[in-house]
Structure 1
Amino acid sequence: MRDGVALAAEVASRGQYRFTAEEFRRMPEAEMPPGHARVELIEGVVVPMAPTLPDHYSVIYLLEGRLREALEPRLKVRSHAPVQLGQYTQAAPDISVITPRQDGYRYRLPGADDILLLVEVAESALSCNRHDKVPLYALHGIREFWLIGIAERQALVLRDPVDGAFRSERAICFGGFLEPLVAPGLRIPFEEFL
């Protein structure tokens, strides 16, 4: 699969049309790439998402449950729900932790200011997520991003976005703990979900 950020830059440099997030939401399913049940909009380009396997869903289910247990109702934990990052991106992270709203985001998607943590689970952390989502999320100022690589059996914890890059990157593996910034004192043992 092509790197979505690089593809978007290529499209923009050639002057090709970039979809806005609003146009993307109005797009009928018939206009989506064939054979791809799940797509997201990355910098104006419709990008197919990789298929998910049982171990992928298992990690999401276990980690989402642990985050919900610790954070709700003070914060909201969602899985496979879209977020809007700027005018040209509607991403679909595996897990998002967002600030709650009275309207439940009925009239708009959560944006960068609402997002406290994003989590992506990948068969390999070295996959396109590493080259695609990391710079995208940093560019849009996502405060904390966890990239969990199933093959590597590790999580990359990325924080402190500045100028399209995260200044802090830490690898967590067996014996380590994930400690979200939004919940000081919460320590999730890595072994609980992978």
Structure 2
Amino acid sequence: MSIQREMRSVEKGNRSPPRSPERIGLGSVYSPAAALCLAHGWVLSLAERIRPSFPVPEQTMSTSANIGPWRRRFTVEEYNHLAEQGFFDEDDRVELIHGEIVKMTPIGTEHASHVDKVVAKLREITSTRAIVRVQSPIQLGTFSEPEPDVSLLKPRDDFYRHAHPTGEDVLLVVEVADTSLEYDREHKIPLYAEHGVPVVWLVDLRARRVESFERPIDGEYTLHRKPTATDTLVVPDLEELTITAGELLISG
């Protein structure tokens, strides 16, 4: 069914418009039709997603018993074009993971305070040796543009003004996780490994510990450590600048 016929069906009462204010659940994606509906002020839930009305290249499709035969993956270029066209509000927290536009979990006080502490410690130890970025995009291939909580980048005079950093530009990624813990483990950390991010620190707020994923080889981290509070963490290329795992956690 074409987008136009779907919209006429809604107008005639044969389909209910998507509910508001929920945009999309974790792991949901915007199809081209969803983007059109979003422009009309509609919000699509996963179950109400509309199939694209045009042929989609085979490499951009996958199947799922839950959502039907069409699943359109967006490229980074298309994703950024949607943002430029105003399909997302300023307050929308979304990122592109493997071609899917994923709604990020809300930031609570515990999460925000730990991000601030990580940033403060990294800036303290790196000075001008690296650029510390907070919840900003990095481009990983054609289909992914995640926004890690903290990323440590190789220094550049233009501060990546003309293009987002890629995996080759990243020294370290830090993800602070509470409700998003499983998603970070199963999707984002493997994605960082695929694109050669040398180290990921996962600040697990549930267990009150830090995990370190290191040495990506053939798209997988070959070293997974769970250091104690007094154990040292090291950033490749900045080995002389060290920090203990406990310094990334707020006591009390």
TM-score scaled by structure 1? 0.86
CA distance in 1, matches of 2:158, 2:75: 24
CA distance in 1, matches of 2:206, 2:231: 17
Q: Which residue of 2 aligns with 1:31?
A: 87
CA distance in 2, matches of 1:94, 1:182: 21
Match of 2:133 among 51, 64, 78: 78
Amino acid at match of 1:20: T
Pairwise CA distance, 1:58: 1.1
- The 10-residue stretch of structure 1 (107-116 or 176-185) with the greater mean CA deviation from structure 2: 176-185
Superposed, 1:2-21 pairs within 5 Å as: 12-14=61-63, 16-21=71-76
Q: Is the 8 A contact 2:126 2:241 kept in 1?
A: no
Q: Deviations over 1:5-45 (max 9, x none)?
A: xxxxxx7323632111122112147534x9x7200001111
**Secondary structure, aligned partner of 1:89:** coil
For CA contacts below 8 A with separation 6 or more, give which structure has more relative contact order. Answer: 1
Q: Deviations over 1:78-134 (max 9, x none)?
A: 111110000111100001011122222111000011011111000168421111111
CA distance in 1, matches of 2:171, 2:232: 18
Percent identity over paired residues: 34
Q: Which residue of 2 aligns with 1:148?
A: 203
Number of residue pairs matched by the alignment: 187
Larger strand share, 1 or 2: 1
Which is higher, the Rg of structure 1 or of structure 2? 2
Runs of 4+ in structure 1 off by over 3 angstroms are 1-4, 28-32
CA distance in 2, matches of 1:192, 1:147: 13
Are 1:192 and 2:247 counterparts? yes
Pairwise CA distance, 1:181: 2.4
Q: Which residue of 2 aligns with 1:100?
A: 155
Superposed, 1:28-177 pairs within 5 Å as: 28=83, 31-32=87-88, 37-123=92-178, 126-177=181-232
CA distance in 1, matches of 2:159, 2:97: 24
Pairwise CA distance, 1:186: 2.8
**Secondary structure, aligned partner of 1:27:** helix
Pairwise CA distance, 1:63: 1.2
CA distance in 1, matches of 2:189, 2:75: 21
CA distance in 1, matches of 2:164, 2:145: 9
Unaligned runs of 5+ in 1: 5-10
Q: Is the 8 A contact 2:139 2:146 kept in 1?
A: yes
**Secondary structure, aligned partner of 1:113:** helix
Distance 1:58 1:42, change over 3 A: same
